[in-house]
Structure 1
Amino acid sequence: MRILIATDAWAPQVNGVVQTLSQVVAQLTAQGHEVRVIHPGLFKTIPCPTYPEIRLALWPFTRLRNELDRFKPQAVHIVTEGPIGLAMRLLAHGRKLPFTTAYHTQFPEYVKARSGIPIRFTAALLRWFHKPSRAVMVPTLSVIKTLQGRGLNNCVLWQRGVDLKRFNPEQSAASKHMSYSPRDLPTDDAQQVELLHRLNACSIEKPVFLYAGRVAVEKNLDAFLSLELPGEKWIAGDGPARKALEKQYPEAKWFGMLNHAALSELYKRADVFVFPSMTDTFGLVLLEAMASGCPVAAFPVNGPLDVVGNSGAGVLDWNLKTAAMAALKIERVVPLKHASTFTWENCAEQFQGYLAPIGLTSTAPKKLSANPKPLSNRP
């Protein structure tokens, strides 16, 4: 099948949307599908207001129209609601081509956190954007319920996965050979080796509470950094709020943006992964941490409720300090076992099953009940 994917999120961006999309494209390509990804790197771009690390494509309509004519896709999927996604939505809808969309980000909540604009306005725009979609792919049942309450009844469950070869509690090859020289193992990741040297050169006061992800206002990091906790607080990631927060909380260890090889070392050494966000639709970092044997502490909100739920792999509490301290008592085998139930193979299989082939006569979106059994752990 020829699959055209239109997205405003792509490398070099580092986030859950890009990781999910990259994994799905790799899975589909390995199965023999021809996948064409239209992304901001193909266009002139400008920085996103309030978030300059994200680049927005300028005038993508003409190129997208030409790609539709040349590639002649048998399925069209729109990932994001940005300039590229909007142009593809207008083109596909105008040509009466069936298409699917995805809901990766709680955009109304993000906009309200950054600008104060009421949720009802951005929710109305999203309803307009996604309503013609044959299926809006959503990562959790709780977010599906939220969208249904906002008038979107074409939502289906599309879960995420984790790479257990990359994220696991086993000691890495680089770590095993740190008593020698990294040059003895030229295949070791340079950033991973540099981080290991940094960790081994300092005394670590246990327990370690870790957050990994974007450092931005919508991630609610103040709720974590302001807690009085024993041991140390580690922050891995970058974003527009980092400078201000680093100045406000100098006692925390700030590691900046890390690749997966280096990040996996932090998951292994952390005692609890603290996730203060209240606006995420899923939270891939939750799976990465648990796959490394690190239990989770979070608020009982969309994302953690579905990914962690009542699995015993973490503690969800409106008092984040209570959750963090209670999570210290969880045996590391519990989150590891739970994370292993989420796979990228299943994620790609669900994605392919929801696609609307061009020329399909039925206009009805797939039913949620037709999905593989959901892995939600909500009580």
Structure 2
Amino acid sequence: MKHQTAWHAPDVLVIGGGAAGLMAAITAGQRGCSVVVVEHGPEVGRKILISGGGRCNFTNTEMRADRFLSANRHFVKSALSRYKPEDFLALLAKHSIAWHEKKLGQLFCDHSARDIVSMLLAECAAAGVRILTDTRIRHVSRSGDAFRVESSAGEFQPKVVILASGGLSIPKLGASSFAYDVARQFDVPVIKPEPALVPLVFDQPQDGWLKTLAGVSLPVRVSCGKIAFDEALLFTHRGLSGPALLQISSYWQAGQAVKVDMLPGQDLAALLMKLKKAGSKAKAPAALARWLPQRLAAALAAQKASDRPMAEWADKDIQALAQRAQNMQFYPTGTEGFAKAEVTRGGVDTRGLSSRTMQVEAVPGLFMVGEAVDVTGWLGGYNFHWAWASGHAAGEAAAQFRAV
């Protein structure tokens, strides 16, 4: 074996070379720990590289605890309070990485997501972190005051293991149940993992007309239960997608209705009544097309099957048409699954972890961070920031195990 023997007994072994794992490694290394990162893929940060259209939506200026889903809604508060968006921006400034803000506080790299990965690798190098790629973990066990980790690169005996191997989203990048398997091995409960920030699909024949709208996009208000989002909706060949729908998918449960207002902030019934009173000769498709995309207007009007001009429409029919456009209810039959999900909802139960350190309460030296944990953020940089914050918290706490 070519690896130095000393590296097989590090203070900290980080399993997973994604955003949370690299941040944990950097933080622990900066505090004097010897750190090894093992990544089963060919390179680290692959999810970073494909994010944000290749520009990585790395955080959000509106970072708030109530924009995260978890069985314990207070769990994220400690880590978020100790690693804030301005902390990550300071790191970007240190490496002269230009960035810009889009809508809703979303921050992106000006150039490329690879700038983020390069920055993290530079920080790892400066902190003396060793990174091993194409390395498979075969077994993790506790051995006295340390752990025994068997891998394709040999056996490691770290004092600390930080599990940062992610959830089940995007399996083509190597997503697996590894973190959940290890959690269960150490008697840490796991909340059922499900796809989140994912398109919803419709298989019922009555929703067949939706497929004719594939490619149509418009700003809407989407709601499910008491939660609502005002963003863009995209019709697809299988159902609905777009930012508004991805957001609501994290809250949607099987059997629930998803409501869509296709003209948020306006009263379509009043607008159509105004046309009627003005004696408009426009038929419903042309009338609706004043405010909605033409194909959508035609599809909505076709549901009423009327070729009369608006001036001849009964008030009740105008109300019904407006109601259809502004309070349409869909009943999804499912999601497009982990293959299309940006993140995983559920995961390692936070009741078994310290919210301050991310350490497993019953197993000193074992930490779990990032997407593996039952914390799911909104679309728009929240999940990356959770990776930075939770990784930072674990890296700080791992330093107490450092060899002296």
Structure with more of its chain in strand, by fraction: 2
TM-score, L = length of structure 2: 0.25
TM-score, L = length of structure 1: 0.26
Larger radius of gyration: 2
Higher relative contact order, structure no. (Cα contacts within 8 Å, ≥ 6 residues apart): 2
